[in-house]
Structure 1
């Protein structure tokens, strides 16, 4: 990601508030996202809830038929389920034509070519492009993203950074040369290489603008949804670490489907579950503090439709407004230390044995387990060398000292 700056300005005018819900599959992300959007709309905020999960269930939660474009569900509430192939035609037209032409040129039949044209990452990219369109049109006060499970969410949020690297490294030579070569290829083979490259440039610029907004805690907050269960909590911990690694602001934890203890009689079938739930709730409090912990009780019935969503929204937020920022402390900062600088990055739950840090030119590469992030360092650190990286009290401290060769010049 680009190195965060306290004076980052949004590339969009009148940027709306953005809330992104993520967590392990089956924890109730869609329910919490839909309940949040409905509550915000009833408070008077014009709201769009956008489902990025390929296994859509937003329409079921809202009990309203939805399509690939935003449509009004109730007063002030709009909803949309992103469809990959519809999005490809709208946002990736030239790229789609390029891929279809290449596959047909190689003898692939039409149906197989249509499937193969949906490249990895296009669904996540489509979600960001719809988000960019909503931001650019500035028609909403709040955008709620009902994200796919944790792994896909990390792919979604890291896509702008990956595409920046890909464009710079896949086409390191002059853009005009690429376009000239592509024009020649199109004229001789019919493959629209130049048109595809031009579209990629536009798409990557849009993704970069969206990433700036997503990485601004005052605008965008991520809310982790979990259940009081061991495997779910472990995945949430990993997600929290990786989100901090990528520089995104998590403002709260939502614990969904909490079984009310006062409604479980002694010696009942659920007594053991209630006991373990009590222990896991305490563990969640310890693990994720100082983040606010919002509890949502199990309603004892399937949740769909406006009435039940309203009950979820009421218990989840009580006297709070869902559009508020619940926690916005910085997860990355730089401080002076004598003639050196220390970069500090918050990495909750990261283990030292899973951590790898090294400087690569003007970038700092930080890897935790199988997740990696490249931080573009401030220009002045080009004259400094990373000499030490330590993990203490959930903070990674990376020390940069003056480059001896630069100092002698």
Structure 2
């Protein structure tokens, strides 16, 4: 199964491009699920029901002779847990759509917790909260996005009968928030893992049996075993989120309107995405006006858009990214018929994936180290940052980590073992890569005998 995260500039038509991408893949024969986190999303999602806390349903077996058009990946495939999206609605053959359940999932989790601790709450004289009393909590949409990635990633691959592809979906297209918020969401699991490992390091758990005695000897509190057990559970969950976001089958598709300002912002944010290890598989310039108008004002605007499209196309294709320009359709397209023209023009997901497979692909730490010890007495650390500008880049070494900030987005990258025994000589940007030259520290570097 593949996952395409569609993000980009605010108001650039991310939902429309996500719907066109899903429609394109479905008409190629794939089984596609389109998910949106936007409560105001239109297009293919216009007629979907709003998310709500579902009422308890009686436990019944599957209905006999279920129709073939029942959506794969329904709630029954995750027993005991409702998926973090609404019941998928069939749009056409091979294509279903659903909305992510943000605040609803949080309220549902609280309702389950209250029910499981009902006896304790009764003893305390507490009054449980009703569903209608709850209001959306900050971060609930981000939580739903991360939970959706994990749910999809951990879905067992089934391999249906008759040569059907494995798993419930061939492709999931996620209509993400604007790119800056998406960057924060994708970076969150790794940041929390780093904090957790620094505050409660796993290697310290070996002294569990000594904690009571150490507490009496030192006269100071020692972390209880429950704290380490809770930390281990959280680490497992965060690691699962990180693996889902970094899976080789997860790609990013950027959407922008072809203006000079958004083109500049795109370059900076491509570098920030690369810092997170995300390879942008395709860039879509949306709402391009047709050329050749006799109206001077309209013609000037269209000419400016076409210049940006030409420059971006040349730059991105040279970098190995797919690029396309979608025409302005006037009113916001609603339904498959209105989106058909865009679906024919968006980069075809299968072809983009085949081309991306020849490159690095996937996520994770994108850096590489070149051994130049024999010729130059140094090691070179190379970090791809396409579109980065020197003014937007800061670099700090702290212990065994590099703290790299691009366009306001920071990532702590652990240094390879060899570089931890080196000092930074110099650093610079070269053809879309950050090059850092490390020279061995004679005090800690192994010396030949």
TM range (shorter): 0.7 to 0.9
Q: Which moved more, 1:337-346 or 1:207-216?
A: 207-216
Q: Which residue of 1 aligns with 2:145?
A: 127
Question: Superposed, which structure 2 residues align to 1:57-206 within 5 Å?
Answer: 57-58=41-42, 60-66=43-49, 67=51, 68-74=85-91, 75-89=93-107, 114-115=134-135, 118-119=137-138, 121-137=139-155, 138-172=167-201, 201-202=232-233, 204-206=235-237
C-alpha distance after superposition, 1:138-161 (max 9, x if no partner): 422111111101111111111111
The structure with more radius of gyration:
2
Structure 2 counterpart SS, 1:293? strand
Deviation at 1:349?
A: 2.8
Whole-Å separation in 1 of the counterparts to 2:101 and 2:239: 22
Alignment of 1:221-240 (within 5 A): 221-240=251-270
Secondary structure at 1:153's aligned position in 2? helix
Shift of 1:24: 0.8
2:238 corresponds to 1:220: no
- What corresponds to 1:282 in structure 2? 310
C-alpha distance 37-322 of structure 1, shift in aligned 2 (>3 A): farther
List alignment gaps of at least 5 residues for structure 1: 1-15, 182-192
Q: CA deviation at 1:344?
A: 0.7
Q: Secondary structure at the match of 2:154?
A: helix
Evaluate the alpha carbon distance shift between residue 281 and residue 36 of structure 1 in structure 2; reply closer, same or farther with a 3 A threshold: same
3-state SS in 2 of match to 1:317: coil
Instruction: Please state how far the C-alpha of 1:39 moved relative to its aligned partner.
Output: 1.9
* Match among 354, 367, 376 for residue 332 of structure 1: 367
Task: Supply the distance in 2 between the matched residues of 1:341 and 1:71 (Cα, whole angstroms).
Answer: 52
What TM-score does the superposition give when structure 2 sets the normalisation length?
0.71
Q: Deviations over 1:328-368 (max 9, x none)?
A: 64453221112432111122332223322122222111112
Q: Alpha carbons of 1:202 and 1:281: their partners in 2 closer, same or farther (altered >3 Å)?
A: same
Cα offsets for 1:18-39 (capped at 9, x unmatched) = 1111111111110111111122
TM-score by length of 1: 0.77
What's the CA shift for 1:51?
A: 1.6
Instruction: Name the residue aligned to 1:407.
Output: 445
Query: Could you say which residue in structure 2 is the equivalent of 1:386?
Result: 424
Cα contact 1:56–1:81 (8 A) shared by 2 = no
Deviations 1:35-71 (A, max 9, x none): 1112212222222222234x4405x433431443241
CA distance 1:309–1:215, change in 2 (3 Å): same
CA contact (8 A) 1:345 1:395 kept: yes
CA RMSD of aligned residues (A): 3.7
After TM superposition, list the pairs within 5 Å mapping 1:297-316 onto structure 2.
297-316=327-346
